[in-house]
Each structure stands twice: as C-alpha cells, then as structure tokens.
C-alpha cells in the first residue's frame, strides 16, 4: 500500500487528488495539508509517507513549492511529485533541480497520475508527457547558448523596441540586428520577435 500525502492550497484540487488516489486499490491518502509549512511540520513530527503530491504554487504562501521540495528531499528523503496547473519551463526546472521526483500538470488524465505515483513510490523519475516534451524542446534549443550580444538584443526586443531603434541604441546597423534576431529565433525555436520575447520570459532569461 502506497501512503500518499497531499499538499495543495486549493480544497477542490485536494478533493480531486484524494478521489483519484483513493480510487486506486494500491494507494491511500494518509494526510492533507494546505501549506508547505504544515507539511514540513507534519513530517518533522514523525509523519510517514511514501509519496508526497505537492503543488508548486502555494498561493501567496511564504514558502514556495520549490523551496519546500528541496527541504523535504534533504530532510526526509521522501519522493516529491510536483503537481501543478501551469508549467512554465522555469517552474519545471526549478522543481527538478530542487530534487522533485516527478512533475505533472493538473490537466493530466487520472491514470497518468496514478502511474506517476507508483513510479515515484518506487523511486523512479516520473515526468508527464507534456513535461517531457517541454524538456526536450529545451534541450533542442539550449537557450543559454545565446551570446551576450544576442541576449542584449533579445532584451531590447522584449522591451518592445523596433529593429531600427535597437540598431541605433547599440550603434550598429539594422542588418546586424536582423542577423542576431535570426540566430535568436533559430536557437529558441521561435519564428517571430514576439514569440522569442515570450519564450525568453517563460524561461526566465531576462
């Protein structure tokens, strides 16, 4: 039997996760908390769990999901499965770097969730298909390979400047800016300045 703990500040979502987990014959919810602090307190108090389902976005809570994940993994070595609504690349990366065993989006079908819980309990990594796709996309375009000049241009693009304005601002010709932008779009896998700016924001590279 897999003992699962839920940590989510949305009562409705907690009820949903509980329903999904309890409907599985081989797992059960043993505890629920609505804040990361409560979760930590429960664990420190001797609470035992096989898997923790954690929401990355704790409303306006003091402790973020990523921080909580790091603390839990370090202190209790319990597998943390991050289940959140929106998956910006930065969030996902942060969670994984913090030591999360898996990352699922809330729009994942229930059987996928159950599978992820079993994988996590077994100590395996469990990433949702969406998440895997995102990570792959990130690999294909390793973002950080933007040169300093390209990043400089990208920042100005994101600020809404035109090529001409950027050229004047950087004391180069428009052709150069276009060239940089072409490289940026190639590296980020985008097709327009606006998409590049949006992607850059998502990845927290500004």
Give which of a copy of itself, DNA, none residue 147 binds (C-beta under 5 to 8 Å, depending on kind).
Answer: DNA
Q: Does 33 bind a copy of itself (CB under 8 A)?
A: no
Stretch that binds a copy of itself, among 15-23, 37-45, 139-147, 174-182 (CB under 8 A): 15-23
Q: Which of 144, 182, 191, 204 binds a copy of itself (CB under 8 A)?
A: 191
Q: Which is nearer to DNA, 49 or 98 (CB)?
A: 98
Nearest approach, Cβ of residue 17 and a copy of itself (Å): 6
Q: Rounded to an integer, what distance in angstroms lies between the CA atom of residue 84 and that of residue 95?
A: 11
Residues 108-167 that bind DNA (CB under 7 A): 145, 147-150, 162-164
Nearest approach, Cβ of residue 77 and a copy of itself (Å): 26
Asked whether 14 and 32 are in contact (CB, 8 A), the reply is: yes
Q: Which is nearer to a copy of itself, 68 or 157 (CB)?
A: 157
Nearest approach, Cβ of residue 45 and a copy of itself (Å): 25
Asked whether 126 and 102 are in contact (CB, 8 A), the reply is: yes
Q: Which is nearer to DNA, 31 or 138 (CB)?
A: 138
Stretch that binds a copy of itself, among 25-33, 140-148, 175-183, 197-205 (CB under 8 A): 197-205
Q: How many CA atoms lie within 13 A of 14 on its CB side?
A: 16
- Residue numbers of the site for a copy of itself (CB under 8 A)? 9-20, 59, 83, 85, 106-110, 113, 157-162, 190-199
- Residue numbers of the site for DNA (CB under 7 A)? 145, 147-150, 162-164, 170, 172-176, 178-182, 185, 191-194, 196
């Amino acid at each position: 039997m897999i003992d699962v703990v839920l940590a989510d500040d949305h009562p409705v979502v907690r009820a949903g996760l509980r329903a999904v987990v309890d409907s599985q014959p081989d797992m059960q919810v043993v505890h629920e908390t609505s804040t990361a602090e409560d979760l930590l307190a429960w664990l420190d108090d001797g609470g035992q769990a096989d898997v923790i389902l954690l929401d990355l976005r704790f409303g306006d809570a003091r402790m973020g999901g990523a921080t909580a994940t790091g603390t839990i993994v370090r202190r209790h070595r319990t597998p943390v499965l991050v289940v959140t609504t929106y998956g910006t690349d930065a969030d996902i990366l942060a969670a994984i770097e913090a030591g999360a065993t898996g990352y699922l989006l809330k729009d994942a079908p229930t059987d996928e969730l159950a599978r992820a819980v079993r994988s996590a309990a077994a100590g395996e990594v469990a990433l949702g298909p969406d998440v895997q796709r995102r990570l792959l996309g990130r690999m294909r375009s390793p973002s950080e390979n933007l040169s300093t000049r390209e990043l400089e241009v990208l920042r100005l693009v994101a600020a809404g400047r035109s090529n001409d304005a950027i050229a004047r601002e950087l004391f180069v010709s428009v052709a150069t800016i276009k060239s940089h932008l072409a490289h940026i779009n190639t590296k980020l896998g985008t097709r327009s300045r606006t998409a590049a700016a949006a992607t850059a924001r998502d990845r927290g590279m500004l």
